[in-house]
Amino acid sequence: MGPQTATRPMRLSERADELEHQMMHELNEKIATKSLLFYLGDGKRTTDNGAALQAQNPGKYFLMGHDPRLPKLPDKPTLLDFLKHRFASTSLNHLLQSATLALKAGHGEKVVLACLLHDIAVAGFIRCDHGYWGAQLIEPYVDEEVSWAVRVHQALRFFPDESAGYKYPDAYRKYFGPDYRPEPYIEEEYKRARQHKYYMTARLICVNDVYAFDPNAVVSIDNFVDIIGRNFRQPKEGLGFDSTSSSHMWRTLNWPTRFL
């Protein structure tokens, strides 16, 4: 390398190469890959091309397990491990505030747990249709009243029920505009839910939800450890390793950049 090239500032592409090299090192020489969904989130319809990536990183293998950039979960991870080490902390705060409101209002443990887990998909997986994803994640481990309520709050939150103390949220007018109308499938879900025996559990999620966004609120997961212990059937093999209908979802959350 000549003296001129040694002193000139690094080009952007070179800096990117260096960063990538550094990341690779931190990954113990393994190549982490991103799924289509990560790219769709940036408006790109693409996914990592295995052969091309390996050609750019000769001699390297793909990551097939834990991503060292993330906190390592125990071999038998519990719900608390995922809450503490995978879920977005701001969303976790919202869930804790919501559950705290339900606790203070004197609701039963199923309602409190439903409030604690109602946005588990937003906090830990995906926003779109979060009620459905969240319910699917927890279904094998909680009473059907809890997972049903989590699923259906997706629809109920768009429809007021003044008799239960729930108005259409001002925040939604602000977020989605005054003319926003939910999709027909959401309206159909709402109509079915109104007739259901667990309607009020799902409605109470909404009641304890919209006010639970105080950035200064001090809340702790410690207050809910016992309620989780009594109402969430933690598998002895660990979440992800127990062969239920949602084990693969927990594994994906544990190892989001695994090649296959």
**Chain residues in the site for Fe ion (CB under 5 A):** 119, 209
Tokens of 170: 């001002």
Choose between 53 and 210: whose C-beta lies nearer to Fe ion.
210
Q: Residue 250 CB, nearest distance to Fe ion (Å)? A: 20
Pick between residue 73 and residue 111 the one whose CB is nearest to Fe ion: 111
Contact 196/148 with Cβ under 8 angstroms? yes
Min CB(68)–Fe ion separation in Å: 32
Closer of 189 and 209 to Fe ion (Cβ): 209
Return the number of the residue (132 or 241) whose C-beta is nearest Fe ion: 132
- Angle subtended at Cα 46 by Cα 40 and Cα 52, rounded to the nearest 5 degrees: 145
CB of 184 to Fe ion, least distance (A): 20
Min dist CB 62 to Fe ion, Å, is 35
Local structure of 184: helix, strand or coil = helix
Residue 126 has which token pair?
């995906």
User: Alpha-carbon distance 230 to 226, whole Å?
Assistant: 6
- Judged by CB, which is closer to Fe ion: 119, or 189? 119
Torsional sign, CA 3, 6, 8, 12: positive
Alpha helices, DSSP H, located in the chain: 3-7, 12-26, 36-40, 50-56, 79-85, 89-104, 109-117, 120-124, 130-138, 144-156, 170-176, 184-194, 199-207, 225-231, 247-254
The least distance separating Fe ion from the CB of residue 83, rounded to whole angstroms, comes to: 15
Tokens at 49, concatenated:
């091309």
Toward Fe ion, which CB reaches closer, 72 or 127? 127
Query: Please, what is the minimum distance in Å from the beta carbon of residue 130 to Fe ion?
Result: 6
Pick the closest to residue 198 from 152, 138, 137, 133 (CA basis).
152
